Amino acid sequence: MDPRGDHGAVGTGGTRRAGGTGRAARHAGAPGRGGRDRTPVSGPQDGISELPFFVYGTLRPGEANHTRHLRGRTAAEEPAHWPGGLLYDGPGWPWALEPGPGGHASVSAGVTGTLVTAAPGRYRRLLADLDELEEYFGPGHPRNLYERTVREVTRADGTPVAAWVYLTAAGPAAGLRANGVPIPGGDWLTRHPR
């Protein structure tokens, strides 16, 4: 089952047929820049401070997208947990979402990940790059695969912190709740060891 619904037709090679420049194209090894404006669609200019990012899949340390998108661009990376989330297995990467109607009642909430703080002077570019990777075009945009939202996550020492989390957009989330494969324990690395 492809949870992406109407958010972009995906061919068998994992690349988007409809001019994919985001996540699907980069997972297939394509360069994926496609001329898109790389200015963040929202962020510090909206009055929101430079929040850290909570990453839970291929952006975690040791994973391919960490090497491509985060290596050398972070000031800190630390274990964290998002207690309100669910994690589903996708075609090559995970999908995080909040519990909702039609979900798997047997899946316990909670997603394990890494809290990433951008290095000084790198925030805006990193935000734009992650928005592009996650195919986030702006709040509620119909082509979004993910929505960038602020959620409270918990550091390993129990301290809560507000962070950006890329949550599955509404269309794919409905498909996952109906037919997706939940990742028990909410940890991508235990489902897909390095």
**pLDDT per residue over 117-164, tens digit each?**
999 999 999 999 999 999 999 999 999 999 999 999 999 999 999 999
Confidence at 179, pLDDT banded by 50, 70, 90: confident
Helix (H) or strand (E) holding 182: strand 181-182
Model confidence pLDDT, tens digit, residues 88-101: 998 778 999 988 66
98 burial type by CB count under 10 A (0-12 exposed, 13-18 middle, 19+ buried): middle
Give, in words, the CATH class of 49-191: alpha beta
Q: Give the percent of the chain with pLDDT over 70.
A: 69
> How much is the average pLDDT of 71-81?
97
- Residue 140: alpha-carbon gap to chain centroid: 15
1 burial type by CB count under 10 A (0-12 exposed, 13-18 middle, 19+ buried): exposed
CB 179 within 8 A of CB 48: no
- Residue 180: alpha-carbon gap to chain centroid: 17
pLDDT at 59: 96
Q: How far is CA 188 from CA 10, 11, 65, 90, 123, in A?
A: 22, 24, 14, 10, 25
Give the 3-state secondary structure of residue 138.
Answer: coil
Question: For residues 60 and 41, which has the higher predicted lDDT (pLDDT)?
Answer: 60
Q: Is the pLDDT of residue 35 over 70?
A: no
pLDDT at 180: 87
Confidence at 52, pLDDT banded by 50, 70, 90: very high
Residues 6+ apart with CB under 8 A from 71: none
- Spatial separation of the C-alpha atoms in residues 184 and 179, rounded to whole Å: 15
134 is catalytic: yes
Q: Which of 30-39, 55-64, 150-159 has the lowest mean pLDDT?
A: 30-39
Catalytic residue among 63, 132, 134, 147: 134
Q: Where are the domains of the chain?
A: 49-191
Alpha helix ranges (H) inside the chain: 23-27, 64-69, 123-133, 170-179, 188-191
- Spatial separation of the C-alpha atoms in residues 34 and 31, rounded to whole Å: 8
Closest CA to 65 of 76, 53, 74, 57: 57
Q: Is the pLDDT of residue 42 over 50?
A: no
